[in-house]
Amino acid sequence: MKKVLFLVLAFLSLSIVSFSQEKPKKTLKATYYHSKFNGRKTATGAVYSDHLKTAASNTYKLGTKLLVTNKKNGKSVEVVVNDRMAPNLNGRVDLSKSAFQQISGLGHGIIPVEVEVLTNNSRPDVM
């Protein structure tokens, strides 16, 4: 009986620890879309706008909501992945201009960021 109780308590404590752990974060480089992409369709079919908080990524599924944090100043922005990038740009995330401006000045070009998945939405049309 004591063994069973011990096993149940051990299982419950491990379950609590695993649920309380932080979501994994990735360190990537971030840049922003050029204004020439305004009005063009993204991989989801949505029209790109500098004013929306969106991102392009090959690492995350379309529709995934991300928290992107500038590693140099700690500023964060929430974005939704609605586009893909060229295959040779893995390890990077492209932010809309307004999302990039929220965490850095446009003069910085490419910045180190920490990316955390907030939701993994399988519906890319939801923004």
The pLDDT tens digits of the residues spanning 84-116 come to 998 878 889 999 999 999 999 988 889 999 999
| Domain region containing 115 | 23-120
74 located within any domain: yes
Please name which of 109, 113, 44 lies closest in space to residue 78, comparing C-alpha atoms: 113
pLDDT score recorded for residue 88: 78
126 located within any domain: no
pLDDT of 2 over the 80 cut: no
15 located within any domain: no
Distance between CA atoms of residues 14 and 8, nearest Å: 10
Q: For residues 125 and 62, is the Cβ–Cβ distance under 8 A?
A: no
54-64 confidence digits (pLDDT tens): 999 999 999 99
pLDDT score recorded for residue 104: 97
30 located within any domain: yes
Distance between CA atoms of residues 91 and 48, nearest Å: 22
Please name which of 58, 48, 29 lies closest in space to residue 127, comparing C-alpha atoms: 48
User: SS3 for 7?
Assistant: helix
- Tell me, what DSSP letter sits at residue 3? H
Q: What CATH number is given to the structural domain containing 93?
A: 2.40.40.10
5 located within any domain: no
pLDDT score recorded for residue 23: 65
pLDDT score recorded for residue 124: 46
3-39 confidence digits (pLDDT tens): 544 444 555 555 444 444 456 899 999 999 988 999 9
Q: pTM (2 decimals)?
A: 0.77
55 located within any domain: yes
80 located within any domain: yes
Number of structural domains in the chain: 1
Region 60-88 average pLDDT:
95
